[in-house]
Amino acid sequence: DAMVIQNPRYQVTQFGKPVTLSCSQTLNHNVMYWYQQKSSQAPKLLFHYYDKDFNNEADTPDNFQSRRPNTSFCFLDIRSPGLGDAAMYLCATSRDQAGGPSEQYFGPGTRLTVT
């Protein structure tokens, strides 16, 4: 089945130790997203790629970076995680359709713990 896969599902890192979260998709969608979601809150968009074009949200900290080496893969790098970065990180995809993006397809998320 076509899907969005996130690895790992659970990640524990130490304060200040760089960490990379991975996302892959078999849907061949041209748009990929990274969201941060904290407990009982709505997902917060960090950035998205339209094809290879990177679109950063104005309030996304510089500590968060992303790479999309090809259509299928996208990575979220947190350069120096702080305790406040502990959250669920969600990857999603969508595609072009008339009048804007289609619905989004979400991965299961990676829960990041910072010790």
Partner 1 sequence: SQQGEEDPQALSIQEGENATMNCSYKTSINNLQWYRQNSGRGLVHLILIRSNEREKHSGRLRVTLDTSKKSSSLLITASRAADTASYFCALPPSGTYKYIFGTGTRLKVLA
Closer residue to partner 1 in complex, CB, 45/86: 45
Q: How far apart are CA 5 and CA 103, in angstroms?
A: 17
**Which residues would be at the binding site for partner 1 (CB under 8 A)?**
4, 31, 33, 40-45, 48, 50, 55, 57, 88, 90, 92, 94, 99-109, 111
The total of other beta-carbon atoms located within 10 Å of residue 30's CB is 16
Closer residue to partner 1 in complex, CB, 15/66: 66
**CB 13, min distance to partner 1, A:** 19
Coil, strand or helix: which one is 105?
A: strand
Nearest in space to 105 (alpha carbons), one of 40, 41, 30: 30
Read off the tokens for 32.
């990929």
**CB 15, min distance to partner 1, A:** 23
Closer residue to partner 1 in complex, CB, 92/112: 92
